[in-house]
Amino acid sequence: MKYYSYFPGCSAEAAASPLGLSVLPVAKELDMDLAELEDWNCCGSTPFGSVDKLAAACMAARNLALAEKRGFDLVTPCSNCFVVLHSANTQLKELPRLREQVDKALAVAKLKYSGGVRVRHLAEVLYTDITPEVIGAKVTKPLKGLKVAPYYGCQLVRPNGFDDPEFPHSLDELVASLGADAVSWELKARCCGSSLVMSEPDVALELINKLLRNAQENGAQCLVTPCPLCHINLDVYQSQVNSKFKTKYNLPVLFLTQLIGVALGIPADALALSRNVVSPMRVLAPYL
Amino acid sequence: MAETMVKSPAIEVSFIDEVCSIPGGEAIRSCIQCGMCTGSCPTASRWDYPPRKAIAMVRAGLRKELLSSNSMWFCASCYTCTVRCPRDIKPADIMHALEVLAIRDGLSTKRSRTPVMYKCFVDSAKGNGRVYELGMMLKFFLRTNPFAALKMAPVGLGLFLHKRLPLKPNRIKGVGELKAILNEAKALGGAK
């Protein structure tokens, strides 16, 4: 058993609930003890860091302080939480004045952070600690013949990534370990527009269209991503892309943990497959 | 050096010093204007002043022009510029520093809805300790363009029908504690 502190992030409880729900049975199957950080708060996300840097650092630091009490690596399945918590962790080490101010603010709540937490992304933990080999050995329903486009998005691999920031390969290996064919496609680590989909939908829908087109042209039957924001854009907004660009995409987008779960023989219900807006049941039927 | 700088009304702080003093903005002086950031940016065509130019404007002291533009608000934080920059100046972080300054001075542009979205997000996360997506979305559309909400209604419905749009906020137990931390941060005057 490997032990971690677990930071789901706000979206895993809401708009990306299939992520939050599918992480736990998969972790159990892979002998990972993911203990949810008690009473964690929003990481601060990009908006805090764009409005007030000290408030942003404090949002992250409260979580880091809570995690430090427990003493294990802090693992999040959300690429944005990962970047934000990881960057705050680094800044608190490198910027003594910021650190001093954050210390004062945390002291009001009798909290203290000494810099002892390692922030990690769940996909990196699956790749590095659990390894594709071990996951592959536990596969009971090999996804033979399924063409999956691994979509890394941005913040899993940039700027604090464990993989190549331009041409990453870790998800390809994880997908292959499940018996599926990892589709090779050029845009696998390009931007989906993230939250601009809400404030500037024209910009984001154009980026999403490019991604879906590129994945489809390379023969993908579905995409897989670890990131909740990417998932919302590619899955939930796929119908908006179709109406804006007169396209007919019907490309299911799975969370990494959902795809792994299917191959490990975890039932569809436990993986919240029915919560994906573009239904993955058609392509997954042979394996369920 | 930049970190210990004290802002005093008697001494005029240059725009570039100001950017340098914000966490993430420190390395801007190393820019060689190669344009790798603009060439790598997936949204550059929408920026009033694309990344390379925006950085040049900081160095030229064109504070008001830049901070009241839509430029940095189109940064999607993809960090492609950051990993490609040959001088390691972290352009995405610089854009976030510019956003902080624009908000601080109330200079945010009307030509991007992102500042309003970010403020709605921050209010939501402060109020509950976690983001309440439905509340944030409604507030954002009411403040910007309620008609745009109609266009997005199918998205909201899709989320709701797939049990991905909780109707109630999820409030943490330590919400009071979090507010006290943030109030103390405010009293300290923000990261400078």
Q: Cβ separation of A50 and B103 shorter than 8 Å? A: yes
Q: And the tokens for A64?
A: 């880091």
Contact A271, A21 (CB under 8 A): yes
Residue numbers in B near A102 (CB within 8 A)? 185
Tell whether the model's pLDDT for residue A184 goes beyond 80: yes
> Which of the residues B173, B184, B186 would you substitute to probe the A interface, choosing the one with the greatest number of A C-beta atoms within 10 Å?
B184
The pLDDT value given to residue B151:
83
Q: Cβ separation of A276 and B170 shorter than 8 Å? A: no
Contact A287, A273 (CB under 8 A): no
Q: Cβ separation of B188 and A96 shorter than 8 Å? A: no
Tell whether the model's pLDDT for residue A47 goes beyond 90: yes
Q: Classify domain A140-287 at the CATH topology level.
A: Rossmann fold (3.40.50)
A-facing residues of B in 117-146 (CB < 8 A) are 117-119, 121-122, 125, 129-131, 133, 137, 140, 144
Closest CA to B153 of B170, B167, B138: B138
pLDDT band at B67 (very low <50, low <70, confident <90, very high): very high
| Cα separation, A278 vs A255, whole angstroms | 12
Please tell me whether residues B28 and B99 are part of one structural domain.
yes
Please tell me whether residues B143 and B83 are part of one structural domain.
no
Q: Would an 8 Å CB–CB cutoff place B168 in contact with chain A? A: no
pLDDT band at B157 (very low <50, low <70, confident <90, very high): very high
Please tell me whether residues B94 and B134 are part of one structural domain.
no
Closest CA to A233 of A174, A166, A155, A162: A155
In this structure, what CATH number is given to the domain that contains residue B12?
1.10.1060.10
| Residue B157, in any domain of the structure | yes
Domain span including residue B158: 114-187
ipTM score for this prediction: 0.96
The residue written with tokens 């943030």 in the block is: B182
Helices B51-60, B91-104: crossing angle, 10 deg rounding: 60
Q: What is the mean pLDDT of residues A44-64?
A: 96
Instruction: Look over chain B and give the mean of its residue pLDDT values, rounded to a whole number.
Output: 92
Residue pLDDT, tens place only, A227-266: 999 999 999 999 999 999 999 999 999 999 999 999 999 9
Q: What is the mean pLDDT of residues B103-112?
A: 86
| Residue B109, in any domain of the structure | no
| Cα separation, A102 vs A92, whole angstroms | 8
Q: Cβ separation of A16 and B164 shorter than 8 Å? A: yes
Tell whether the model's pLDDT for residue B7 goes beyond 80: no
Q: How many CB pairs under 8 A join A and B?
A: 227
The pLDDT value given to residue B77:
98
The pLDDT value given to residue B2:
47
Residue pLDDT, tens place only, A197-237: 999 999 999 999 999 999 999 999 999 999 999 999 999 99
Q: What's the sign of the alpha-carbon dihedral A130, A132, A133, A134?
A: positive
Residue numbers in A near B5 (CB within 8 A)? none
CA B113-B118-B122 angle, to 5 degrees, is 150
Q: What is the mean pLDDT of residues A158-185?
A: 97
A-facing residues of B in 76-115 (CB < 8 A) are 76-80, 82-83, 90, 92, 96-97, 99-100, 103, 112-114
Helices B133-143, B146-161: crossing angle, 10 deg rounding: 160
> Which of the residues A7, A36, A39, A41 would you substitute to probe the B interface, choosing the one with the greatest number of B C-beta atoms within 10 Å?
A41
The pLDDT value given to residue A57:
98
Cα nearest neighbour of B182 on chain A: A55
Query: For chain B, how many structural domains are there in total?
Result: 2
Q: What is the mean pLDDT of residues A37-50?
A: 97
pLDDT band at B190 (very low <50, low <70, confident <90, very high): low
Tell whether the model's pLDDT for residue A17 goes beyond 70: yes
Please tell me whether residues B36 and B125 are part of one structural domain.
no
Please tell me whether residues B125 and B144 are part of one structural domain.
yes
The pLDDT value given to residue A161:
84
Phi, psi of B185 (to 5 degrees): -60, -40
| Residue B10, in any domain of the structure | yes
| Single residue among B39, B74, B104 that ends a domain in this structure | B104
pLDDT band at B11 (very low <50, low <70, confident <90, very high): low
Residue numbers in B near A199 (CB within 8 A)? 73, 112-114, 116-117, 140, 144
Task: Using alpha carbons, list the distances in angstroms from residue B110 to B70, B74, B181.
Answer: 8, 13, 31
Q: And the tokens for B107?
A: 């200079």
Instruction: List helix spans (H) across B26-145.
Output: 36-40, 51-60, 63-67, 80-84, 91-104, 114-128, 133-143
Please tell me whether residues B130 and B100 are part of one structural domain.
no
**Ranges of each domain in chain A:** 2-122, 140-287
| Residue B192, in any domain of the structure | no
Instruction: Give me the residue from A15, A155, A166 closest to B164, CB to CB.
Output: A15
The pLDDT value given to residue B150:
86
Residue pLDDT, tens place only, B32-60: 999 999 999 999 999 999 999 999 999 99
Please tell me whether residues B21 and B95 are part of one structural domain.
yes
Domain range A2-122, CATH architecture: Up-down Bundle (1.20)
Residue pLDDT, tens place only, A102-140: 999 999 999 999 999 999 999 999 999 999 999 999 999
The pLDDT value given to residue B110:
81
Please tell me whether residues B80 and B123 are part of one structural domain.
no
Please tell me whether residues B99 and B16 are part of one structural domain.
yes
Phi, psi of A5 (to 5 degrees): -95, 140
The residue written with tokens 């018996």 in the block is: A179
